[in-house]
Amino acid sequence: MTLSFTSLGLSEARVSHLQSMGYDEPTAIQAEAIPHLLSGRDLIGQAQTGTGKTAAFALPLMEQVDSSNPSVQALVLTPTRELAIQVCQAMRGFRINGRPNVLAIYGGQSIERQQDQLKRGAQIVVGTPGRVLDLLNRGSLSLHNLGWLVLDEADEMLNMGFIQDVEKILSKAPANRQTAFFSATMAPEIRELSAKFLHSPVTVTVQSPKASPKQIQQVSYIVPRGWTKVRALQPILELEDPESAIIFVRTRRTAGDLTRQLQAAGYSVDEYHGDLSQSQRERLLMRFRQQQVKLVVATDIAARGLHVDDLTHVINFDMPDAMESYVHRIGRTGRAGKHGIAISLVTPLEKYKLRQIERHTKQPMTLVKIPTRAEIAARNLERLRSQMREAITSERLASFLPIVSQLSEEYDLRTIAAAALQMAYDQTVPAWQRNEHHNAEAEGSERGASLPKKRKTISVQSESREVSKAKE
């Protein structure tokens, strides 16, 4: 029998709230950590992003803080602003009736505003070490009533040189608090820190997100001899049409080149690299989350700072050298029961790597050829068909029925439906691909050959004029 959230000791109200969010069962780290944290033990959690570690520390805190007391009772330290915001948002999502109050504090945002927010009261504060220390020194943040302290991504704190700040904060917190450290790896410095600040902690370890490879479909495309990878990638992107994807490359330089070439071809793509300022990173992250940018090109190192794990696709433009990197990369998709696709571009010389991957992940790897234009067109039509099915059952349909009634006085219903479909197709499919389904067979052998630039979507008005003209 699988464990339930109730059996971990969480309240019924929280469990049903979690269920409404689609959290039916605890993940491994949650199942192991939550009972210890609820019982008051200090804890070291060795777990990476994607394992559900945020809920593992957040839920016990949220169950225990006193929402009627406005003072800060729990502090979560994160290495980056993005993570502070992300953890804060996740915690707000776990709340019932908007309580307790969770506040994110980080550098770069007006300190006065954060001072005001603290004055108004917050039971839980999520912050970056520098800003937390600053607010402590100014007397705007008080840790007198602090009962819980969590260090998230402790190894990143170390990498980013924040450990001294963290030590200062830890030594300012009351001694009788409960403390938890979460870290993907356990460097000696982290062990030293935990020996100094944690009281007989229990250690909980979960494996890297190899967890659910079943939900990750692994597909490899063989790049034909004489082709560049960029040329091979474009028809794949057309076929897959990812909602959100990271394209992994080996070097920073390839990242820049590939981004420019894809942008020139009309794709919504950006590069993520270490030299971006905090505000540039945040803006990119925001656009990526809101799907204004669908593709992000990054190296493994840069992608570490990119806290996005809910991807529809992961694309290995360059294959990683280490198997761990491969597993880590593809683990960013197929999350929380969703289906994810991991695509690898391999040259004929790299084919041998695929067997290694199969052996390591114990999952089959599908080997496919670069899609032809006809295959892409067929996929687009298939997509349109399923969108139609969805639209037919939607409630908004009713508001369009009067237009259909009016038009049906002039045209027959099949013609009207086909015209509407044509408009929808033209909205989503670039101009150069249109009408492919008419002569799909004829062009079938042309594997993604020299794809012209994608065109911007044509407005509905001009299209509808064309449609009505055609009827006259």
Q: How far is the CB of 70 from ligand AMP (least distance, A)?
A: 27
Q: How far is the CB of 35 from ligand AMP (least distance, A)?
A: 15
* Long-range CB pairs of 378-382, under 8 A, 24+ apart, other chains included: 378/437, 378/440, 379/239, 380/425, 380/428, 380/429, 380/433, 380/437, 381/425, 381/437
Q: CA nearest 235: which of 373, 353, 101?
A: 373
Indicate the Cα dihedral angle 36, 40, 46, 47, nearest 10°: 70
Phi/psi at 383 (nearest 5 deg)? -60, -45
* Closest CB to ligand AMP among residues 87, 302: 87
Q: How far is the CB of 284 from ligand AMP (least distance, A)?
A: 19
Q: How far is the CB of 51 from ligand AMP (least distance, A)?
A: 5
Q: How far is the CB of 337 from ligand AMP (least distance, A)?
A: 7
Q: How far is the CB of 55 from ligand AMP (least distance, A)?
A: 5
Distance from C-alpha of 155 to C-alpha of 79, rounded to nearest angstrom: 9
Q: How far is the CB of 338 from ligand AMP (least distance, A)?
A: 9
Q: How many C-alpha atoms does 217 have within 13 Å on its Cβ side?
A: 11
* Closest CB to ligand AMP among residues 230, 336: 336
* Closest CB to ligand AMP among residues 209, 448: 209
Q: State the DSSP H helix or E strand holding residue 368, giving kind and residue range, or none if neither.
A: strand 366-368
* Closest CB to ligand AMP among residues 53, 273: 53
Q: State the DSSP H helix or E strand holding residue 399, giving kind and residue range, or none if neither.
A: none
Q: How far is the CB of 226 from ligand AMP (least distance, A)?
A: 41
Contacts to ligand AMP by CB under 6 A: 22-23, 25-27, 30, 49-55, 309-310, 335-336
* Closest CB to ligand AMP among residues 155, 318: 155
* Closest CB to ligand AMP among residues 51, 316: 51
* Closest CB to ligand AMP among residues 124, 173: 124
Distance from C-alpha of 92 to C-alpha of 84, rounded to nearest angstrom: 12
Q: Given the DSSP bridges, would you call strands 43-46 and 124-127 parallel, antiparallel or unpaired?
A: unpaired
Distance from C-alpha of 325 to C-alpha of 208, rounded to nearest angstrom: 11
Dihedral sign computed on CA atoms, order 264, 268, 279, 274: negative
* Residue 400: DSSP 8-state: G
* Closest CB to ligand AMP among residues 53, 373: 53
